[in-house]
Structure 1
Amino acid sequence: MKTDSIDIKIIADTGGDFTDDLVKEYDVNLIPFTIEAGDDTFLDTDDVDTEAIMRSMENSPNPVRTACPAPGKFLKAMKDSLANNIFIVTISGKLSGSFESANAAKKQFLEEFPDKKVEIIDSMSASAGEALVLYKLCKEVSKGMDFDTVTKAINEFASNMKTYFVLDSVDSLMKNGRLSRVKGTLVNVLGIKPLLGSNGEGEIVSYGGYRGSKRALKQLADRICGEAKESKNKEIFISYAGDEERARKLAELISECSEWSEIRVQHTRGLSTAYAQRGGVVVSY
């Protein structure tokens, strides 16, 4: 991406649900995660089959496994860019090794090219959250702002952003040992839908559980509308895994009690699909 005053390249891992149209519009280079679900391995590229990921997960008793991009992948992307100023956005450093991998690549890159600038942005989120941080970064860069000003603005935005998600199933949490099988089975039988989210430091915490999807989405919408300030000037991103109708319903509920400059609804990419599971909805603002 080139502005009137400076050349900047934006790189990101695929922990965020950045859509293909935005990738092309802002010339973003996405470095994919690898996902192992059941006996299948998926590379989180733009043509990844998210339905196949969900089927493989549902048919396997084993937990899904993921691998972040190696430092060499980030290093190659930086060298190939030929840019003097580079931003790399990653999934929360508390959730993955991608942030550390990108920093390792940065160190090696700057040893070879000491006159260039590289900033690694920890989105402190994932899915819709990382996508929103990446979107805001692209917007700021397109305004022609200088590198240091953009860096400060985006890090501040990531620190203040909120991310919530509602799971339709806790099967993955049980397989990964994060929820006991007894509790997980009880939650599924009773139709309890967990409301989870970021604690502001990139870690996932629970905000309770609600009986049925409709009630959970309504509670989430009410929480968002109660927290949103000056939302007319803000964007809100909603990601869904397999159930667009549920995401559109959440967008409708949110728009009934608050006004936003933009509400974007998109399907999860491969990595987010693996963790949100079928029916999961993620929202960030």
Structure 2
Amino acid sequence: MTGICEGRVAIVTGAGRGLGREHALELARQGAKVVVNDLSTTLDGVVEASSPAHEVVELIRAVGGDAVANGADVADFEQAGAMVRQAIDTFGRLDILVNNAGFVRDRMLVNTSEEEWDSVIRVHLKGHFAPLRHASEYWRNEAKAGRTPDARVINTSSGAGLQGSVGQASYSAAKAGIAGLTLVAAHELARYGVRVNAIAPAARTRMTEGAFGEAMAVPEDGFDAMHPANVSPIVAWLAGNTSGEVTGRVIEIEGGKICIEEGWNHGPANDAGERWDAVSAGLAIEELLARSVAPEPVYGAAPIPAAAS
């Protein structure tokens, strides 16, 4: 198998189903050796007896690729480290980390429990940090030893994290955090030869079927815009050997549409050169808001009602 990832070694988390599965298969088609990670849980977080990661490994091997399964909980710091070591011990190196694992606990903010909040933040945000932390240490050590990597990290944010999504406070907060983590990691790891980007995919997965219902159904004919495989070629390009100038970006992918997200930027400003008082500060802020770009509406939101006078 040859392609833009020929000879490279990748870890894909949450790769037993959905987006992660398609990422692992596409990376293998492009020539990468793949560690297929999947904790194998139900949507309710219950660990299942058998892992779909092994099926993905067999599919890759059946077409001449090379892959191994991994069952780590990526939000467990020690298990994440062992997963990184497995890639290096098995294939001799690590070039690509695709952080994809996650689940949802959709609920309106006032009904969200502490456990639901903690579990979503843990699997998404810590589940990105822990593998990235261990992979970064490996790449830093390689660079210090004179073997500067040509490494790639592809994180998974979401439109929910970039624009917000009603009923998904915990998920939106975690995905916004991942976008911020991506920006920082891109700058901190550049000196070690690592490029860090994120995707914000829209696709039909176990997580989205309940939320979108019939809107996510497979069409009887024509282009299936919600198939998760639509996202994976962009992941493969970011992971490959021709994307070395791209870092610190968030790329939204939906069907055949690619959009470069433009996040927080400094807008209009007013510097008084001294401490504001509350009244003059309010007048200044109102004037600046009139000159600023309004934020995009939150997904699923009705117009915010006017404040009572």
TM-score, normalised with respect to structure 1: 0.37
Q: Which has the higher contact order (CA 8 A, sep 6+)?
A: 1
TM-score, normalised with respect to structure 2: 0.35
Q: Select the structure that is richer in strand.
A: 1
